[in-house]
């Protein structure tokens, strides 16, 4: 497909037709790779540590919530 650049402020952009985007499977985040004479658009690499971050956050939150007097009272009423 041949197309032209469009002005976007001081930058330039390219309109990518919806059918091409759907076929490509690209998500919201992309990475631009540059070599002389070409620019390639690829899916942005997924964060491998997102699950670890979530687990650490959960542990911190649980630790703060778990050690409250109200929690002891609530659990005692269930026994």
* pLDDT tens-place string over residues 41-76: 998 877 665 555 555 556 666 666 666 777 677 777
Entry pTM: 0.51
Mapped onto helix, strand or coil, the DSSP state of residue 25 is: coil
51 or 2, which is more confident: 2
Residue-number span of the structural domain to which 16 is assigned: 6-43
Q: Are both 55 and 33 inside the same structural domain?
A: no
Report how many helices (DSSP H) and strands (DSSP E) the chain contains, helices first: 3, 4
Neighbouring C-alpha atoms within 13 Å toward the C-beta of 59: 6
Q: Are both 51 and 29 inside the same structural domain?
A: no
Q: Are both 52 and 77 inside the same structural domain?
A: yes
Q: Which residues of 22-41 are buried (b: 16+ CB within 10 A; e: fewer)?
A: eeeeeeeeeeeeeeeeeeee
Q: Are both 38 and 51 inside the same structural domain?
A: no
In the numeric block, the tokens 């001081």 are attached to: 10
**The predicted structure's pLDDT at residue 63:** 64
Q: Are both 10 and 37 inside the same structural domain?
A: yes
Q: Are both 19 and 39 inside the same structural domain?
A: yes
What does the pLDDT look like over 5-45, one tens digit per residue? 999 998 999 999 999 999 999 988 888 999 999 999 998 87
């Amino acid at each position: 497909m041949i197309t032209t650049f469009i002005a976007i402020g001081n930058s330039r952009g390219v309109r990518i037709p919806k059918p091409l985007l759907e076929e490509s499977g690209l998500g919201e985040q992309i990475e631009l790779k540059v070599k002389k004479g070409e620019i390639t658009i690829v899916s942005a690499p997924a964060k491998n540590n997102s699950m670890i971050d979530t687990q650490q956050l959960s542990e911190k939150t649980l630790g703060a919530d778990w050690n409250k007097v109200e929690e002891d009272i609530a659990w005692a009423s269930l026994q």
